[in-house]
Homo-oligomer: A and B are copies of this chain.
Amino acid sequence: MRVSQQIFPRAVALIVTISKDGEPNVMTASFLMPISFEPKYLAFSITPTRHTFKNLKEVKEFTFNICDESMLEEAKICGSYSGRDTDKFKLAKLEKESSSQVKPPLLKKSPVSFECRVEGMKEFGDHWLVVGRVLKEHVREEEFIPLLHKSGDIFPRLK
């Protein structure tokens, strides 16, 4: 059994990063968690072959954009293509919005977005754990139904 079928469902977020040349990229993540209330810290896990990983090595900032149920297609697209050869913002029709504390942009469609500075990055097994401190948050909707993932094409839904 894969660990994704054992620890589930998981909230889904779109992680936006930027290269040292200023090219943004967006990746879907569901291996993620809150760590601390005040100040807010959160974590996500990433495979080192991802384009987002290269960006994080260059610019230690990201935005963490929570997906609601309406963002299923966007999450699938940003989890299936590589930012190396695809502009996933365009492909998924994701509108960007400028951040005020970090370089990577926010996603306008997300009910809640966090601007984060990387405060820890460490390899564990086949992934790297990334810890970010929230510098600023954007709450566009206080009430929303989160998009959830189990594994593969299984996206459980809340009652």
Contacts and interface: CB of A to CB of B under 8 A. Distances in A.
Interface of A: 1-4, 6-11, 13, 31-45, 66, 112, 119-120, 122, 124-127, 129, 131, 133-134, 137, 139, 142, 146, 148, 156-159
A42 B1 contact: no
Given A32-B33, A34-B4, A159-B157, A120 B122 contact: yes
A66 B4 CA distance: 13
A128 to B, nearest CB: 9
12 contacts: A6-B66, A6-B139, A7-B13, A7-B32, A9-B146, A9-B148, A33-B43, A33-B44, A37-B126, A122-B131, A124-B131, A159-B159
Contact of A129 (B1, B6, B66, B131): B131
Given A31-B33, A32-B7, A148-B9, A127 B157 contact: no
B158 A35 contact: no
Minimum-distance CB pairs A-B, first 6:
A36-B125, A33-B33, A3-B34, A41-B124, A36-B127, A35-B45
